[in-house]
Structure 1
């Protein structure tokens, strides 16, 4: 399995570790997306009684309006007989408006809470994971450009002597600086190998 340079390490063990971490991040984000949506639906369910009240009030209002229309057709008394029905329609409209406002408030709260439940854990993990992946990508691409240009491994050997822990350098040579100065290719290759692997790259053959 091969990937574009810089995306994943060339060493199989490290590449598998990176793949596992990326898959974990993806699953983590997807999981909290579903948890956030479930939270939104749960909060939204609180508005169910208000929705039912609003629907019942609308049906009753429509029925009263129809009754008012029928009553208004009574000759001579229609206008007077209709007034109580019109008053009831206005009262029911107030009930409907209050129910709609309550439903809208609960829906906004559910949407906000759902997004917070999703974003907080997702962003916290991305803040940890993303800089590590970006640093690896930039370091690997920069190192790969030198290798693609067939640059000498001396640069990576020098970086190893500066950046690598002392016990790592000591395992390669008791006097790496002297070995580098006299052009000891085995020591230079070993130092470059350590530095290249830190960038996720395999060294060229000795």
Structure 2
């Protein structure tokens, strides 16, 4: 199985197309990762809120524990401090929730920014490449099969007549020469057919 054409012009086009596809996929991945990092920076307020909330909850919890040791009024002093500590825990929870939301948005954006361009590139690039590989393989097998060169020459005869302009017209025309089995004309026609497919004898 041949991945690239034998004719230089088509091979260059194929290599350029392959490199462009790889470069576009690489650029899409790099862009997606940069966007992911930028979005994740938006989670910093959430991290700050979580740290502050945890610190506040710990400090107020410790103060409430210390206040509970005050004789007679210890339990009454502890209740408002415990309530404030719960508010600090709520602030920490809100900070974690913000970080989770930002992380989810960053992940979805990254997936979308990678998947959409990659799918578009693959849909535009891969089918023609696979089609050429199959067609080139089938044409090579046909050229090496008995009578295959005749069939390739016939394909050229029934195709665009512009391809025949480069050849000298044999007596009676190309079709008559093909019917007679003129080996030189058939070889010339088959060479055109192979060249159209990006192949050579």
Say if 2:57 and 2:87, in contact at 8 Å, map to a contact too.
no
3-state SS in 1 of match to 2:158: helix
Q: Distance in 2 between matches of 1:162 and 1:71?
A: 100
What is the aligned counterpart of 1:48 among 27, 35, 44?
Answer: 44
Q: Distance in 2 between matches of 1:135 and 1:183?
A: 31
When the two chains are superposed, the root-mean-square deviation of aligned CA atoms in Å is: 2.1
Q: Distance in 1 between matches of 2:57 and 2:136?
A: 70
What is the aligned counterpart of 1:121 among 107, 117, 120?
Answer: 117
- Structure 2 counterparts to residues 50-129 of structure 1, below 5 A: 50-74=46-70, 77-129=73-125
Q: Deviations over 1:81-132 (max 9, x none)?
A: 3211210121122222222222222222222222323333333232211111
2:165 counterpart of 1:167: no
Say if 2:53 and 2:88, in contact at 8 Å, map to a contact too.
yes
Say if 2:150 and 2:190, in contact at 8 Å, map to a contact too.
yes
Q: Distance in 1 between matches of 2:110 and 2:97?
A: 20
TM-score, normalised with respect to structure 1: 0.85
Say if 1:173 and 1:187, in contact at 8 Å, map to a contact too.
no
Q: Distance in 1 between matches of 2:165 and 2:67?
A: 103
Say if 2:53 and 2:90, in contact at 8 Å, map to a contact too.
no
Deviation of 1:149 (Å): 4.2
Q: Distance in 1 between matches of 2:107 and 2:30?
A: 13
Q: Distance in 1 between matches of 2:52 and 2:97?
A: 16
How many residue pairs were aligned?
Answer: 198
Instruction: For structure 2, list consecutive stretches of 5 or more residues without a partner in the other structure.
Output: none
Q: Which moved more, 1:123-132 or 1:22-31?
A: 123-132
